Amino acid sequence: MYFNKKYKRTGPAFQQRYKAIHITEDDQLLHITRYLHLNPNNHTNYEWSSLPYYLGTKQASWLRPKRALELFKKGEYKIFLEDYKDKRDELKQLKRQLDLADN
């Protein structure tokens, strides 16, 4: 209520940005977890990331990464992320080169 009065808003603070999507396929689950873990610029040191829990370096009773991790052999999830990050970085580099060539 304080936030709404201060900024002259109504309703929940995140009423227009949040959208729940029901994940029904393994491919969707993998895409979402990869997106969430690679989205922060410095994903390995991002304080609020669940990545350490998925990689097994931290444990928490409230987080259950088993469903996503059971789709991989031990240690393959990290490779899955790194492979995509490398491809994503290559695509960004190509896009920059194309943008420079157009100018």
Cβ(88)–Cβ(38) under 8 Å? yes
What is the rounded average pLDDT of the residues 39-54? 82
In 3-state terms, what secondary structure has residue 61?
A: coil
Overall pTM surpassing 0.85 (yes/no) = no
pLDDT in tens, 29-39: 999 999 889 88
Give me 67's structure tokens. 């469903």
Confidence at 18, pLDDT banded by 50, 70, 90: low
Cβ(43)–Cβ(29) under 8 Å? no
- The total number of residues shown for the chain amounts to 103
Mean pLDDT is highest, among 12-26, 36-50, 53-67, for: 53-67
Q: Which of 10-19, 32-41, 50-59, 92-101 has the lowest mean pLDDT?
A: 10-19
